[in-house]
């Protein structure tokens, strides 16, 4: 299986997997920093009611973006696995034309999904 195969714009399957792991491990630290930045701004219950949805939106956006990356990685892994099997058997990709079209359609759907934007909140934005 060629994990260095370029998928799009200089990204390989290996890079895609690395991005997924990096996003997951960095999210906890980012959330802790954001909460520590927002904590001094929360003086009343009303302040908390306004700030908590921002934190939730940030977390949800990260989860959604990671889900898209994981779906893309699953599709790419399936293609790479089929390619490895076909090379071992000496045939073509090992997928039917319908399966190829379905996979490419899934990749295009994921690639075209609009990324969720989150407004960055810092202690300067009071």
pTM: 0.54
pLDDT of residue 123: 41
Segment (H or E) for 14: helix 13-38
Question: Going residue by residue through the chain (126 aa), what tens digit of pLDDT does each one get?
Answer: 566 767 677 777 788 888 888 887 788 888 888 888 888 888 999 988 988 888 888 888 888 878 888 888 888 788 777 777 776 665 555 566 777 778 778 777 776 775 554 444 444 443
pLDDT of residue 89: 62
Q: What number of residues does the chain have?
A: 126
pLDDT of residue 118: 43
Please say whether the dihedral angle defined by the alpha carbons of residues 86, 93, 1 and 109, taken in this order, is positive or negative. Answer: negative
Residue 124 CB contacts under 8 Å (≥ 6 apart), including other chains: none
pLDDT of residue 121: 41
């Amino acid at each position: 299986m060629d994990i260095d195969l370029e998928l799009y714009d200089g990204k390989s399957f290996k890079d895609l997997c690395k991005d997924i792991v990096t996003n997951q491990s960095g999210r906890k630290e980012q959330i802790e920093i954001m909460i520590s930045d927002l904590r001094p701004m929360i003086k009343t219950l009303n302040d908390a009611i306004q700030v908590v949805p921002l934190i939730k939106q940030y977390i949800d956006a990260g989860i959604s973006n990671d889900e898209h990356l994981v779906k893309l990685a699953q599709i790419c892994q399936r293609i790479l696995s089929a390619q490895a099997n076909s090379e071992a058997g000496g045939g073509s990709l090992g997928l039917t034309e319908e399966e190829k079209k379905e996979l490419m359609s899934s990749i295009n759907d994921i690639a075209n999904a609009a990324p969720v934007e989150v407004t960055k909140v810092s202690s300067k934005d009071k």
